[in-house]
A and B are shown apart, each in its own frame.
Chain A
Amino acid sequence: MISIQQADFDVAAEYAALRDTDPSAGAIATFSGLVRDSGDLSGVTGLFLEHYPGMTEQVIQGLIDEASSRWDVRRVRVIHRVGALALSDQIVFVGVSSAHRGDAFAACQFIMDALKTSAPFWKKEQTDQGEHWVEQKASDVERTDAWT
Protein backbone atom coordinates (compact mmCIF):
# COMPACT_ATOMS: atom_id res chain seq x y z
CA MET A 1 0.00 0.00 0.00
CA ILE A 2 1.22 3.49 -0.90
CA SER A 3 0.32 6.74 0.85
CA ILE A 4 1.43 10.22 -0.17
CA GLN A 5 0.30 12.52 2.62
CA GLN A 6 0.98 15.70 4.55
CA ALA A 7 0.25 14.03 7.88
CA ASP A 8 2.88 12.35 10.04
CA PHE A 9 2.89 8.57 10.43
CA ASP A 10 3.32 6.15 13.33
CA VAL A 11 6.07 3.58 12.68
CA ALA A 12 4.79 1.31 15.46
CA ALA A 13 1.32 1.20 13.91
CA GLU A 14 2.76 0.54 10.43
CA TYR A 15 5.00 -2.22 11.81
CA ALA A 16 2.05 -3.80 13.63
CA ALA A 17 -0.01 -3.77 10.43
CA LEU A 18 2.79 -5.43 8.44
CA ARG A 19 3.20 -8.04 11.20
CA ASP A 20 -0.45 -8.87 11.78
CA THR A 21 -1.58 -9.48 8.25
CA ASP A 22 0.62 -12.44 7.28
CA PRO A 23 1.73 -15.38 9.44
CA SER A 24 4.01 -16.66 6.65
CA ALA A 25 6.33 -13.67 7.16
CA GLY A 26 9.41 -14.37 9.27
CA ALA A 27 11.05 -10.98 8.83
CA ILE A 28 10.17 -7.32 8.59
CA ALA A 29 12.66 -4.67 7.46
CA THR A 30 11.73 -1.01 7.83
CA PHE A 31 13.40 2.27 6.90
CA SER A 32 12.51 5.77 8.08
CA GLY A 33 13.95 8.92 6.49
CA LEU A 34 14.12 12.14 8.52
CA VAL A 35 14.71 15.86 7.88
CA ARG A 36 18.41 16.54 8.61
CA ASP A 37 20.05 19.86 9.53
CA SER A 38 22.56 19.71 6.67
CA GLY A 39 21.60 18.99 3.08
CA ASP A 40 23.02 20.77 0.03
CA LEU A 41 23.92 23.50 2.54
CA SER A 42 24.45 23.46 6.30
CA GLY A 43 22.06 25.21 8.65
CA VAL A 44 18.90 23.70 7.19
CA THR A 45 15.89 24.78 9.23
CA GLY A 46 13.15 22.95 7.33
CA LEU A 47 12.00 21.43 4.05
CA PHE A 48 9.19 21.79 1.57
CA LEU A 49 8.33 18.70 -0.48
CA GLU A 50 6.45 18.83 -3.78
CA HIS A 51 5.26 15.84 -5.83
CA TYR A 52 3.46 14.96 -9.05
CA PRO A 53 0.15 13.47 -7.85
CA GLY A 54 -0.73 10.32 -9.73
CA MET A 55 2.65 9.77 -11.35
CA THR A 56 4.34 9.47 -7.96
CA GLU A 57 2.04 6.62 -6.91
CA GLN A 58 2.46 4.88 -10.29
CA VAL A 59 6.25 5.02 -10.10
CA ILE A 60 6.32 3.67 -6.54
CA GLN A 61 3.89 0.88 -7.47
CA GLY A 62 6.27 -0.04 -10.29
CA LEU A 63 9.14 -0.27 -7.77
CA ILE A 64 7.05 -2.49 -5.46
CA ASP A 65 6.15 -4.71 -8.43
CA GLU A 66 9.82 -4.98 -9.41
CA ALA A 67 10.86 -5.78 -5.82
CA SER A 68 8.15 -8.44 -5.65
CA SER A 69 9.47 -10.07 -8.82
CA ARG A 70 13.09 -10.08 -7.59
CA TRP A 71 12.63 -11.13 -3.97
CA ASP A 72 10.22 -13.10 -1.81
CA VAL A 73 8.13 -10.16 -0.68
CA ARG A 74 4.92 -10.60 1.34
CA ARG A 75 3.76 -7.10 2.28
CA VAL A 76 5.07 -3.66 1.33
CA ARG A 77 4.11 -0.34 2.86
CA VAL A 78 5.40 2.98 1.51
CA ILE A 79 4.51 6.35 3.03
CA HIS A 80 5.97 9.63 1.78
CA ARG A 81 5.10 13.01 3.24
CA VAL A 82 4.71 16.22 1.23
CA GLY A 83 4.37 19.87 2.18
CA ALA A 84 6.23 21.73 4.93
CA LEU A 85 8.42 19.66 7.26
CA ALA A 86 10.57 20.65 10.25
CA LEU A 87 13.95 19.32 11.44
CA SER A 88 13.80 15.67 12.58
CA ASP A 89 10.33 15.24 11.06
CA GLN A 90 9.71 11.89 9.39
CA ILE A 91 9.74 12.14 5.57
CA VAL A 92 9.46 8.59 4.31
CA PHE A 93 8.72 5.06 5.52
CA VAL A 94 9.37 1.81 3.68
CA GLY A 95 8.41 -1.46 5.35
CA VAL A 96 8.72 -4.93 3.81
CA SER A 97 7.72 -8.29 5.22
CA SER A 98 9.18 -11.51 3.86
CA ALA A 99 9.73 -15.12 4.85
CA HIS A 100 13.44 -14.39 5.46
CA ARG A 101 15.57 -11.40 6.44
CA GLY A 102 17.75 -11.31 3.33
CA ASP A 103 14.83 -10.67 1.03
CA ALA A 104 13.27 -8.18 3.45
CA PHE A 105 16.51 -6.16 3.72
CA ALA A 106 17.17 -6.23 -0.03
CA ALA A 107 13.63 -5.30 -1.11
CA CYS A 108 13.41 -2.50 1.47
CA GLN A 109 16.75 -1.02 0.40
CA PHE A 110 15.99 -1.39 -3.31
CA ILE A 111 12.62 0.38 -3.00
CA MET A 112 14.18 3.20 -0.97
CA ASP A 113 17.20 3.65 -3.28
CA ALA A 114 15.07 3.59 -6.44
CA LEU A 115 12.39 5.86 -4.93
CA LYS A 116 15.03 8.55 -4.35
CA THR A 117 16.06 8.65 -8.00
CA SER A 118 12.82 7.86 -9.85
CA ALA A 119 9.73 8.93 -7.87
CA PRO A 120 8.71 12.50 -8.77
CA PHE A 121 9.31 14.32 -5.48
CA TRP A 122 11.30 17.54 -5.11
CA LYS A 123 12.78 18.96 -1.92
CA LYS A 124 13.26 22.64 -1.24
CA GLU A 125 15.52 23.39 1.70
CA GLN A 126 15.05 26.37 3.99
CA THR A 127 18.13 27.86 5.67
CA ASP A 128 18.94 31.09 7.49
CA GLN A 129 20.29 32.36 4.14
CA GLY A 130 17.07 31.66 2.23
CA GLU A 131 15.66 28.68 0.38
CA HIS A 132 16.82 26.59 -2.58
CA TRP A 133 15.78 23.50 -4.52
CA VAL A 134 17.90 20.45 -3.69
CA GLU A 135 20.10 19.05 -6.47
CA GLN A 136 20.03 15.35 -7.32
CA LYS A 137 23.13 13.53 -5.98
CA ALA A 138 25.36 11.43 -8.23
CA SER A 139 25.86 9.10 -5.26
CA ASP A 140 22.10 8.44 -5.11
CA VAL A 141 22.02 7.64 -8.83
CA GLU A 142 24.98 5.27 -8.38
CA ARG A 143 23.19 3.47 -5.53
CA THR A 144 20.13 2.91 -7.73
CA ASP A 145 22.23 1.85 -10.73
CA ALA A 146 23.96 -0.75 -8.53
CA TRP A 147 20.65 -2.68 -8.35
CA THR A 148 20.42 -3.15 -12.13
Chain B
Amino acid sequence: MTDSKITVRFFARLREELGTEHLDLNLPEGSTVADVQTELASRGGTWAQLTGSQPVLAAVNQAMAKPATPVRPGDEVAFFPPVTGG
Protein backbone atom coordinates (compact mmCIF):
# COMPACT_ATOMS: atom_id res chain seq x y z
CA MET B 1 0.00 0.00 0.00
CA THR B 2 1.42 3.37 -0.97
CA ASP B 3 0.39 6.57 0.70
CA SER B 4 -1.42 9.21 -1.27
CA LYS B 5 -0.34 12.78 -0.74
CA ILE B 6 -3.16 15.27 -0.87
CA THR B 7 -3.50 19.00 -0.27
CA VAL B 8 -6.13 20.14 2.22
CA ARG B 9 -7.45 23.72 2.19
CA PHE B 10 -9.56 25.57 4.76
CA PHE B 11 -11.74 28.62 4.33
CA ALA B 12 -13.44 31.35 6.36
CA ARG B 13 -14.14 30.56 10.05
CA LEU B 14 -12.37 27.18 9.79
CA ARG B 15 -9.24 28.78 8.27
CA GLU B 16 -9.12 31.30 11.09
CA GLU B 17 -9.84 28.92 13.97
CA LEU B 18 -7.37 26.29 12.72
CA GLY B 19 -4.79 28.97 11.96
CA THR B 20 -4.11 27.12 8.69
CA GLU B 21 -4.85 27.95 5.07
CA HIS B 22 -3.60 24.67 3.67
CA LEU B 23 -1.52 21.62 4.51
CA ASP B 24 -0.25 18.46 2.86
CA LEU B 25 -1.37 15.09 4.20
CA ASN B 26 -0.32 11.51 3.53
CA LEU B 27 -3.17 9.03 3.64
CA PRO B 28 -3.45 5.32 2.95
CA GLU B 29 -4.68 4.46 -0.52
CA GLY B 30 -8.45 4.06 -0.64
CA SER B 31 -9.09 6.89 1.81
CA THR B 32 -12.24 8.99 1.72
CA VAL B 33 -13.19 12.54 2.70
CA ALA B 34 -14.42 11.16 6.04
CA ASP B 35 -10.98 9.60 6.63
CA VAL B 36 -9.32 12.98 6.04
CA GLN B 37 -11.70 14.59 8.55
CA THR B 38 -11.11 11.90 11.15
CA GLU B 39 -7.33 12.05 10.71
CA LEU B 40 -7.26 15.84 11.14
CA ALA B 41 -9.78 15.85 14.01
CA SER B 42 -7.54 13.40 15.92
CA ARG B 43 -5.02 16.25 16.32
CA GLY B 44 -7.37 17.55 19.03
CA GLY B 45 -7.95 21.15 20.10
CA THR B 46 -9.65 23.29 17.47
CA TRP B 47 -9.13 20.47 14.92
CA ALA B 48 -11.79 18.39 16.71
CA GLN B 49 -14.49 20.63 15.18
CA LEU B 50 -13.91 18.89 11.81
CA THR B 51 -15.98 16.02 13.19
CA GLY B 52 -17.95 18.13 15.68
CA SER B 53 -21.57 19.23 15.83
CA GLN B 54 -21.22 22.29 13.59
CA PRO B 55 -21.74 21.56 9.90
CA VAL B 56 -18.54 21.27 7.85
CA LEU B 57 -18.81 21.10 4.05
CA ALA B 58 -16.21 19.39 1.88
CA ALA B 59 -15.04 19.68 -1.70
CA VAL B 60 -12.70 17.45 -3.69
CA ASN B 61 -10.95 19.10 -6.63
CA GLN B 62 -13.29 22.08 -6.27
CA ALA B 63 -16.53 20.08 -6.53
CA MET B 64 -18.82 19.48 -3.54
CA ALA B 65 -18.10 16.11 -1.94
CA LYS B 66 -19.66 13.71 0.55
CA PRO B 67 -18.02 11.82 3.43
CA ALA B 68 -17.75 8.72 1.22
CA THR B 69 -16.15 10.56 -1.71
CA PRO B 70 -12.78 8.88 -2.48
CA VAL B 71 -9.58 10.88 -2.23
CA ARG B 72 -6.77 10.09 -4.65
CA PRO B 73 -3.09 11.13 -4.80
CA GLY B 74 -2.73 14.75 -5.83
CA ASP B 75 -6.32 15.66 -4.99
CA GLU B 76 -7.21 19.00 -3.47
CA VAL B 77 -9.61 18.55 -0.55
CA ALA B 78 -11.25 21.61 1.04
CA PHE B 79 -13.26 22.04 4.23
CA PHE B 80 -15.42 25.07 4.94
CA PRO B 81 -18.54 26.27 6.78
CA PRO B 82 -21.91 26.59 5.00
CA VAL B 83 -21.64 29.39 2.42
CA THR B 84 -22.99 32.91 2.97
CA GLY B 85 -22.41 34.92 -0.20
CA GLY B 86 -24.77 37.03 -2.28
Contacts and interface: CB of A to CB of B under 8 A. Distances in A.
Contacts of A115: 85-86
A124 B78 CA distance: 19
Secondary structure class of chain B's binding surface, majority of residues: mixed
B21 to A, nearest CB: 11
A119 B84 CA distance: 8
Given A55-B78, A133-B13, A133-B81, A121 B86 contact: yes
B2 interface: no
A38 interface: no
B23 interface: no
B82 A123 contact: no
Size band of the interface chain B makes with A: 10 to 19
Contacts of A134: 84
Given A50-B15, A52-B59, A133-B81, 15 more contacts: A49-B85, A50-B12, A52-B62, A52-B78, A52-B80, A55-B59, A55-B62, A115-B85, A116-B86, A120-B11, A120-B83, A122-B13, A122-B85, A133-B12, A133-B13
Interface of A: 33, 49-52, 54-55, 58, 80, 91-92, 112, 115-124, 133-136, 140
Interface of B: 9, 11-13, 15-16, 59, 62-64, 78, 80-86
